[in-house]
C-alpha cells in the first residue's frame, strides 16, 4: 500500500475514534427502529437472547462438567497432600476444556451439515432445516453459524428480516474479530440503515474488515478510492485493493469457469420486467422442455447449457447431460463437445474420465467444432489421458481461436504470456487476451489487467488496470445476490431486495446502484426514513451516471428540475440533460432539453434549437414520435398565436398576453388537449 494513502487512512481513523462514544450512545436509541418484520422463528429469538447474555457463557460450560469425576479428582489431590488452590483451579479448567472442545466440534459439524443442505436446497423446507442447524451451531458458539444467522436477519432470508437484531449480532461478532461483521457494520453505517449515518465510521469498519481478510471490504475500498468517495481519489490505492480481490477471483476461475449472474435492471418497463430476457419465464421453460422432448436439437443443446452453468435463473444441475446425450445422438457437434467438457471437469452425473472426454472432444473436433478443438488442446496442454504435448495443444488452440472461441484465444495468450511450449511474446499474448476479453472471457480480462498494472508488453496504465480488475472482481460469488434481490422484489419483499441491491451498490456495481435508487424513489421501502430516500436515491443515481448509465444521468436532471432531494436548479438540470443527449444520445434528455429551450428554463430561450432537439428525439427513438408530435404542434400553435394574434408589428398596440397569469401554469397542457380534441373531431368527420 502507498505510505501516503496509509497515513491518510490512519489519520481518518484517529479522527473518527473520538466520535465512537457518541455513535454508540446513538445506537442504543435505535431500539425503536425495528425496520422490518419481527423474527418469525422462535429458535432465532432464543439465539439472540443467548448472544445478549454471552457474558454468562462460561457459567453454562461449567455446568456441563461431570460432578462425580470432579469429586474423585479432588479426593486424589487430598491424598497426595496437594492443597494448592491454584492447582485446583487449573484442574477445574482441565475438565472444562474437553467439554468446550466437544461442544465446538459438535457446532462445527452442525454448521457443515447446514451449509451442505443450504447449498443443495431446492425448497423452502430445506432452507428452514439448514437455518435450524445454523441456530443450534450458533448456540454452541460457532462464529460462522452466527455470521450466517446475522446475514439471514439482515437480508431477510425466508421472511425473517430484522435489522435491529442483525446489528446486535454483528456488534457481538465484531468484538470477536469477525471481518464479515466489520464489513456489514460499515455498510449499514454508510447508508444510515438502523445505525447513525456516518461515512467516517463506515470507512473504519471497512479498513478493519479488509485487514481481517474481507474481500467485500477490499472491493468497497477499491471503489471508494477509485471514485474519491469520502477519501482522496487515489488510483494506486484502488489498484492495490482491487488486485487482491481479482487474484482471489482468478484463482477460483482457474479451477472452474464460474457461474455468470444475470443482472436485471428494474428501471425497464414493467411489461418487459415481467418477461425479462435475463430470467427465463417458467411457462417458456416448460415449453422449451416440451420442444426438447419432441426432438428439437437446438433447444436440447440450449437447455443443456442453461442447466450446466445455471443460467437465466435456473438452478445448476446435471440434467444437462440428459439433454446433451439426446442432441449428440442426433449428431450435434456442440452437444458432443459439452459432454466431453463434463467428463473432463467431472461432476455427479459425469465422473471425471479423460478417456471419455477425449472421445467426445474428438467426435466434435472432427466436425470442426471450436469447443471440441479447444477441449483436445486442453487435454494435450495438461497431459490429461495423453502425454503433455504443447505443440499439439498450440495447434488445436489456434484452430479453435480462428473460429472465434474466446477460451481458446485466452489459452493462446496464456501460452505466449508464460512461455509454455513457445517463446515468450507479450505482444502476441496481449493480442489474444484482448480478443478473448471482447467476448467477456474473465481470465483474459484478469491477465490484461496484470499487463496494464505492471507495464508488461504494454504502456502502464493504472486507470485501465483498475477498470479491468474491477470487471473481474464483479464476478465474485457475492454477485449471486442479484438474483435473490430480483426475486425478492418480484415477490413484493421490497426491503429485502433493497438491502441486497444497496450492498452491491456499495461494492461499485452500476446496475445495483440504479436499482437501489429506483426502489428508494418509489418510497415503498421501510428501512429508511422518507426524508432520506430522495437524497440517497440522488446519490446513487449520481454514482450510476458516473459509470455511464444514461438513464441515471437523465434522472439527476429530473431531480434538479423538480427539486427532489435537492434544491430546484434549472441550470444544473439542463447541464445533465445536455450530457445525456450529447454523450449517450438519450431521446428523453433531448426532449427535456428541447422543452427547457422552448420556455427558457435555466438557459436562453431558443425556439429554433427547441424545434431541432424535438426532431432529434423523434429520430433517436420511435417511442418519442407521439410526444414529439404533440410538443411540436403546441410549439407551432403558440408561435402562431404569438406572431399573429397577440402581437401587431405595425401599430405596436397589442401586447403579449401572459398566459401563466391568465389561463394558469398548465396552459400548455390545455393547448395540447384542445389540439387532440380537434384531431379526433377531424378524424371522425373524415370517416363519415
Average pLDDT, the chain: 79
pLDDT band at 413 (very low <50, low <70, confident <90, very high): very high
pLDDT value at 539 more than 60? yes
Among 99-113, 422-436, 674-688, the range of highest mean pLDDT:
422-436
Instruction: Report the pLDDT value the prediction gives residue 509, as an integer from 0 to 100.
Output: 95
Query: Which helix (H) or strand (E) covers residue 451, if one does?
Result: helix 442-454
Q: What is the CATH number of domain 282-477?
A: 1.25.40.10
pLDDT value at 231 more than 50? yes
For the segment 208-229, what is each residue's pLDDT rounded down to a tens digit?
999 999 999 999 999 999 999 9
Instruction: Report the pLDDT value the prediction gives residue 500, as an integer from 0 to 100.
Output: 95
CA distance 652 to 633: 27
Radius of gyration of the chain (CA): 32
pLDDT band at 65 (very low <50, low <70, confident <90, very high): very low
* pLDDT, mean of residues 26-43: 39
- Asked whether this chain's domains 282-477 and 479-650 adopt the same fold, the reply is yes
Instruction: Report the pLDDT value the prediction gives residue 35, as an integer from 0 to 100.
Output: 36
Three-class secondary structure of residue 657 per DSSP: coil
pLDDT value at 307 more than 80? no
pLDDT value at 468 more than 90? yes
CA distance 404 to 303: 22
For the segment 70-90, what is each residue's pLDDT rounded down to a tens digit?
444 444 434 344 333 443 343
pLDDT band at 328 (very low <50, low <70, confident <90, very high): confident
- Whole-model pTM: value is 0.78
Instruction: Report the pLDDT value the prediction gives residue 270, as an integer from 0 to 100.
Output: 52
If you write DSSP's letter for every residue of 308-364 in order, what string do you get? HHT-TTPPP-TTHHHHHHHHHHTT-HHHHHHHHHHHHH--SSS---HHHHHHHHHHH
The CATH class of 479-650 is mainly alpha
Higher pLDDT, 172 or 39: 172
Q: Does the domain made of 103-255 have the CATH classification 1.20.1250.20? A: no
* pLDDT, mean of residues 245-263: 79
Q: Which pairs count as long-range contacts for 349-355, CB under 8 Å and 24+ apart, including other chains?
A: 349/318, 349/319, 349/320, 349/321, 350/318, 350/321, 354/379, 354/384, 354/385, 354/386, 355/385
CA distance 336 to 586: 45
Residue ranges covered by each domain of the chain: 103-255, 282-477, 479-650, 656-687
* pLDDT, mean of residues 551-560: 96
Instruction: Report the pLDDT value the prediction gives residue 134, as an integer from 0 to 100.
Output: 85
Instruction: Report the pLDDT value the prediction gives residue 381, as an integer from 0 to 100.
Output: 93
Amino acid at each position: 500500500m502507498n505510505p501516503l494513502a496509509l497515513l491518510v487512512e490512519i489519520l481518518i481513523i484517529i479522527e473518527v475514534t473520538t466520535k465512537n462514544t457518541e455513535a454508540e450512545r446513538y445506537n442504543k436509541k435505535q431500539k425503536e427502529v425495528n425496520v422490518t418484520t419481527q423474527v418469525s422463528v422462535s429458535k432465532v429469538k432464543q439465539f439472540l437472547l443467548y448472544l445478549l447474555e454471552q457474558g454468562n457463557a462460561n457459567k453454562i460450560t461449567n455446568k456441563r462438567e461431570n460432578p462425580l469425576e470432579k469429586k474423585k479428582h479432588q479426593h486424589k489431590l487430598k491424598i497426595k497432600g496437594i492443597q494448592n488452590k491454584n492447582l485446583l483451579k487449573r484442574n477445574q479448567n482441565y475438565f472444562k476444556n474437553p467439554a468446550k472442545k466437544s461442544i465446538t466440534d459438535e457446532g462445527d459439524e452442525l454448521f457443515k451439515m447446514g451449509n451442505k443442505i443450504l447449498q443443495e436446497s431446492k425448497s423452502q423446507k430445506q432452507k428452514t432445516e439448514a437455518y435450524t442447524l445454523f441456530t443450534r451451531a450458533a448456540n454452541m458458539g460457532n462464529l460462522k453459524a452466527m455470521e450466517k444467522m446475522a446475514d439471514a436477519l439482515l437480508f431477510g432470508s425466508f421472511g425473517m428480516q430484522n435489522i435491529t437484531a442483525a446489528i446486535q449480532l454483528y456488534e457481538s461478532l465484531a468484538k470477536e474479530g469477525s471481518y464479515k461483521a466489520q464489513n456489514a457494520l460499515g455498510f449499514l453505517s454508510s447508508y444510515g440503515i438502523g445505525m447513525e449515518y456516518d461515512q467516517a465510521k463506515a470507512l473504519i469498519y471497512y479498513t478493519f474488515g479488509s485487514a481481517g481478510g474481507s474481500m467485500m471490504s477490499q472491493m468497497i475500498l477499491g471503489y471508494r478510492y477509485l471514485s474519491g468517495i469520502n477519501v482522496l481519489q487515489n488510483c494506486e490505492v484502488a489498484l492495490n485493493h482491487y488486485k487482491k480481490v481479482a487474484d482471489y477471483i482468478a484463482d477460483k476461475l482457474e479451477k472452474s469457469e464460474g457461474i455468470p449472474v444475470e443482472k436485471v435492471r428494474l428501471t425497464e418497463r414493467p411489461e418487459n420486467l415481467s418477461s425479462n430476457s435475463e430470467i427465463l419465464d417458467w411457462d417458456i421453460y416448460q415449453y422449451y422442455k416440451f420442444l426438447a422432448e419432441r426432438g428439437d436439437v437446438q433447444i436440447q443443446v440450449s437447455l443443456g447449457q442453461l442447466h450446466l452453468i445455471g443460467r437465466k435463473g435456473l438452478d445448476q444441475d446435471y440434467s444437462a447431460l440428459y439433454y446433451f446425450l439426446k442432441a449428440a445422438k442426433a449428431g450435434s457437434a456442440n452437444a458432443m463437445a459439452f459432454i466431453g467438457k463434463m467428463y473432463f471437469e467431472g461432476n455427479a452425473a459425469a465422473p471425471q474420465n479423460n478417456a471419455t472426454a477425449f472421445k467426445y472432444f474428438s467426435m466434435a473436433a472432427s466436425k470442426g467444432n471450436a469447443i471440441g478443438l479447444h477441449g483436445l488442446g486442453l487435454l494435450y496442454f495438461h497431459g490429461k489421458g495423453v502425454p503433455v504435448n504443447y505443440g499439439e495443444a498450440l495447434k488445436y488452440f489456434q484452430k479453435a481461436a480462428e473460429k472465434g472461441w474466446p477460451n481458446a484465444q485466452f489459452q493462446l495468450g496464456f501460452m505466449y504470456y508464460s512461455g509454455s511450449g513457445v517463446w515468450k511474446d507479450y505482444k502476441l499474448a496481449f493480442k489474444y487476451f484482448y480478443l478473448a476479453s471482447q467476448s467477456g472471457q474473465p481470465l483474459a480480462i484478469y491477465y490484461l489487467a496484470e499487463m496494464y498494472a505492471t507495464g508488461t508488453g504494454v504502456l502502464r496504465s493504472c486507470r485501465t488496470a483498475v477498470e479491468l480488475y474491477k470487471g473481474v472482481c464483479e464476478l465474485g460469488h457475492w454477485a449471486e445476490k442479484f438474483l435473490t434481490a430480483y426475486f425478492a422484489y418480484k415477490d413484493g419483499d421490497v426491503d429485502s431486495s433493497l438491502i441486497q441491491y444497496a450492498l452491491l451498490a456499495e461494492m461499485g456495481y452500476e446496475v445495483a446502484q440504479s436499482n437501489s435508487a429506483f426502489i428508494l424513489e418509489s418510497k415503498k421501502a421501510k428501512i429508511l426514513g422518507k426524508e432520506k430516500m430522495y437524497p440517497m436515491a440522488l446519490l446513487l443515481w449520481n454514482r450510476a451516471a458516473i459509470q455511464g448509465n444514461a438513464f441515471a444521468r437523465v434522472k439527476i436532471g429530473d431531480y434538479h428540475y423538480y427539486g427532489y432531494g435537492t434544491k430546484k436548479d434549472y441550470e444544473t438540470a439542463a447541464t445533465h440533460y445536455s450530457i445525456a443527449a450529447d454523450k449517450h444520445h438519450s431521446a428523453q434528455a433531448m426532449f427535456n432539453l428541447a422543452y427547457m429551450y422552448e420556455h427558457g428554463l435555466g438557459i436562453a430561450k431558443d425556439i429554433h434549437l427547441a424545434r431541432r432537439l424535438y426532431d432529434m428525439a423523434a429520430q433517436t427513438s420511435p417511442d418519442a414520435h407521439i410526444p414529439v408530435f404533440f410538443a411540436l404542434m403546441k410549439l407551432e400553435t403558440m408561435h402562431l398565436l404569438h406572431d399573429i394574434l397577440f402581437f401587431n408589428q405595425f401599430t405596436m398596440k397589442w401586447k403579449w398576453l401572459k398566459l401563466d397569469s391568465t389561463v394558469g401554469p398548465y396552459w400548455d397542457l390545455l393547448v395540447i388537449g384542445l389540439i387532440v380534441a380537434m384531431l379526433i373531431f377531424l378524424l371522425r368527420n373524415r370517416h363519415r
